């Protein structure tokens, strides 16, 4: 009751899940992003498609049994996609089973017209995505795989064999893999069925467990995460380049990563510039 009076209590939703508290929303979300409209020299080659893997799951169960109302973070998805679109790339939208893409709409930047425009332009694809199991591995038109962040990326994606298969296919085909925040949870799918971790020895940026562990104090998460992502990646041999929730990004070979929502603009610029330079 005391937390509720102070605006620190997570908000109970109609389905029994919890979205962030008023204080958490004020501290951790924005109504307008820091997106920079860069004038790229547009890509005109034959590999213009980017495969985007979204989660279709809304509720993530915390260690205490409470459900967090999550999904894909709209800023982490749409700001990098804006940069890639402006650099001449297009998107193939996938979810594991073809169910609609789920966004953390409580984090949507309502005053950002560029983000809203891209969201509306892609809305039919978000409502009717392709199934991962139907992906055609013979398609040669792809340049990269992109896994947006949001805590929802930890829900089903790390346990999906098709995710692991696609990441290994991208690695074999020398494609770029792009992700940020909790999106690198998808990398855990490469260890399914006893396979070696695909990104052992890679430098990467990812959302720190230390921050996730503190967010229940302000009512962002309704409890502690079921799995500590940064600790798990590090235990598998990843070299983590950030310790804070910041705007840092990292390029290591064909892997491009960002640390948090604050890195969305930097990640988009780095991804667009890197693809244009290397394709």
Number of domains making up the chain: 1
15 falls within a domain = no
Instruction: Please determine, for residue 99, whether its predicted confidence score (pLDDT) is greater than 50.
Output: yes
| Alpha-carbon distance values, 194 to 66, 169, 189, 202, 215 (Å) | 31, 17, 10, 19, 33
78 falls within a domain = yes
Q: What is the pLDDT of residues 16-70, one digit of tens each?
A: 999 999 999 999 999 999 999 999 999 999 999 999 999 999 999 999 999 999 9
The widest CA-to-CA distance across the chain, in whole angstroms, is 59
Q: What is the pLDDT of residues 224-268, one digit of tens each?
A: 999 999 999 999 999 999 999 999 999 999 999 999 999 999 999
Q: What local confidence, expressed as pLDDT, does residue 2 receive?
A: 46
Instruction: Please determine, for residue 6, whether its predicted confidence score (pLDDT) is greater than 80.
Output: no
Instruction: Please determine, for residue 7, whether its predicted confidence score (pLDDT) is greater than 80.
Output: no
Q: Name the CA dihedral angle for 32, 38, 44, 45, rounded to a multiple of 10 degrees.
A: -80
Q: What is the mean pLDDT of residues 201-222?
A: 97
269 falls within a domain = yes
Q: pTM here?
A: 0.96
Q: What local confidence, expressed as pLDDT, does residue 138 receive?
A: 83
181 included as an active-site residue: yes
16 falls within a domain = no
> Do 272 and 84 touch, CB atoms closer than 8 A?
yes
Instruction: Please determine, for residue 4, whether its predicted confidence score (pLDDT) is greater than 60.
Output: no
**Percent of residues, the chain, with pLDDT higher than 70:** 97
Q: What is the mean pLDDT of residues 172-185?
A: 97
Q: How do strand 255-258 and strand 249-252 relate by DSSP bridges?
A: antiparallel
Q: Name the CA dihedral angle for 253, 257, 265, 209, rounded to a multiple of 10 degrees.
A: -160
Q: What local confidence, expressed as pLDDT, does residue 236 receive?
A: 98
Q: For residues 173 and 155, give the distance between their C-alpha atoms in angstroms, rounded to a whole number.
A: 27
Higher pLDDT pick, 9 / 17: 17
65 falls within a domain = yes
Q: What local confidence, expressed as pLDDT, does residue 139 receive?
A: 77
Q: What local confidence, expressed as pLDDT, does residue 115 receive?
A: 98
Domain that holds residue 68: 49-132+150-278
CATH number of the domain where residue 82 is located: 3.40.50.880
Instruction: Please determine, for residue 89, whether its predicted confidence score (pLDDT) is greater than 90.
Output: yes
8 falls within a domain = no
- Given the residues 181, 186, 229, 250, select the one marked as catalytic: 181
25 falls within a domain = no
Q: What is the pLDDT of residues 140-158, one digit of tens each?
A: 899 999 999 999 999 999 9
14 falls within a domain = no
Q: What is the mean pLDDT of residues 136-141?
A: 86
Q: What is the mean pLDDT of residues 218-226?
A: 96
Q: What is the mean pLDDT of residues 125-135?
A: 96
């Amino acid at each position: 009751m005391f937390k509720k009076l102070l605006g620190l209590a997570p908000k109970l939703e109609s389905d029994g899940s919890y979205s962030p508290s008023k204080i958490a929303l004020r501290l951790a979300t924005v109504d307008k992003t820091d997106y920079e409209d860069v004038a790229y020299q547009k890509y005109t080659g034959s590999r213009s498609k980017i495969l985007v893997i979204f989660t279709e799951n809304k509720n993530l169960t915390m260690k205490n049994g409470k459900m967090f109302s999550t999904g894909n973070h709209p800023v982490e998805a749409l700001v990098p996609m804006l940069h890639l679109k402006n650099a001449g790339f297009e998107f193939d939208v996938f979810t594991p089973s073809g169910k609609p893409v789920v966004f953390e709409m409580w984090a949507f930047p309502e005053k950002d017209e560029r983000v809203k425009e891209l969201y509306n332009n892609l809305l039919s694809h978000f409502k009717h995505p392709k199934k991962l199991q139907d992906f055609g591995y013979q398609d040669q038109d792809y340049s990269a795989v992109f896994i947006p962040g949001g805590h929802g990326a930890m829900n089903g994606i790390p346990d999906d064999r098709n995710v692991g298969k696609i990441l290994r296919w991208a690695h074999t085909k020398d494609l770029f893999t792009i992700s940020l925040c909790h999106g690198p949870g998808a990398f855990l799918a490469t260890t399914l069925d006893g396979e070696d971790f695909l990104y052992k020895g890679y430098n990467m940026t990812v959302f720190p467990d230390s921050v996730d562990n503190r967010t229940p104090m302000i009512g962002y998460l309704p409890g502690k995460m079921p799995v500590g992502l940064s600790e798990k990646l590090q235990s598998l041999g990843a070299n983590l380049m950030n310790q804070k929730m910041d705007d840092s990004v990292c390029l290591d070979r064909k892997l491009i990563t960002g640390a948090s929502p604050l890195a969305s603009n930097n990640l988009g610029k780095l991804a667009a510039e890197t693809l244009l330079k290397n394709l």
